[in-house]
Amino acid sequence: MRVAMIGTGYVGLVSGACFADFGHVVTCVDKDASKIERLKQGEIPIFEPGLDQLVATNVREERLFFTTEAADAIKDADAVFIAVGTPSRRGDGHADLSYVYAAAEEIADLMDGFTVVVTKSTVPVGTGDEIEEIIKKRRPDAQFAVVSNPEFLREGAAINDFKRPDRVVVGTDDERARHVMSELYRPLNLNETPLVFTGRRTSELIKYAANAFLALKITFINEIADICEKVGADVNQVARGIGLDNRIGSKFLHAGPGYGGSCFPKDTLALVRTAADYGAPIRLVETTVEVNNARKKAMAEKIAAAMGGDLQGKTVGLLGLTFKPNTDDMRDSPSLDIVPALQAKGATVQAFDPEGMHEAEKMLSGVVFKDGPYEAITGADAMVIVTEWDQFRALDLDRVRLLLRSPTLVDLRNVYRPDDMRARGFNYTSIGRV
């Protein structure tokens, strides 16, 4: 089948490359000429393991194309995916749908013959209805169906998530659209992937509900971690003890400095705003948003306490800047709250991240960026692990002690064992463990 993917951000690029690898002919469209030119030259604008090879293979096999000209791509497409950004709108937290609406208008003007218009972007309930009205208004003669097909991609594991998903959700009541979507995802039949067909509004809500539940689960274990520190319990063992219950499950029960990234912060906030608009406030998610925001800010206090309280003139060696490992994504990363707070207390921050420093340089000022983990902690009064990159899990701890001015280690991801660290002479602080 022929697919047009509007938007070459994280979701659009990964989805487009994976559909091409399924054997479909995919044209990715973006108005950013420099990005399209880089993609044509084989440069991938985001870090996602395996994506560069996947793109290169499908470009070489002439199944994947990049262009700034939407006309031919949309006119010839069986399905046009809208995969543009929906950031939180300034001032009220609602999802900014301006890019989605602009894409809908462009599709309306260019489509030819029956076309399935698919929202891959995360959008509030009712957005599909609005897209349908936009297209009908501009093209009363058009033959089309608007479908919701939310993405459930984890950064760092997106290709596997697309090719081996837990489920594929498709929101449509149109039989022709159902047939097209079934054909697009037919390669997943081999893995017996559940293809869940539902109403369009239900599909839109499934995405928000899933992300909100996972955010709530993270926030729950973070608050349990706080209790553990007060009563002398171990949050890792608590998480294991409850995670073995099949009704709860072990995933997303890892205590840390709070969630970040491109999805959870904006999606929880958008769900809160949508629920309020419809007169059905969702108090659990409201509290989750508040608790998570406060937690990220509180991490600087935790670091300061481990360093004796007074940070004036002291240096912090920070390992990890991205919101999670295996991505260069800095959006809503805990480091964006932690670093300025440490600087405000008078500390100098030396930092290293394997993939995120280019993005971090745009978002953090006054940071001394270093070329490696050992360089980042040299002469520092404390080492702080913010992101659990694999290379931080097996550091030469004898070397670490020699490089630090003071043997203080604040482990916000519980990478190391408290007993081991204290036996090595470290002043060790972690999350939910004493």
- The catalytically annotated residue of 18, 28, 228, 263 is 263
- Report d(CA 59, CA 210) in Å as an integer: 33
CB 243 within 8 A of CB 220: no
| Residue 143: count of CB within 10 angstroms of its CB | 11
18 is annotated as an active-site residue: no
Query: What value, to the nearest 5°, has the Cα angle with vertex 269 and ends 5 and 166?
Result: 50
Q: Which residues are designated catalytic?
A: 263
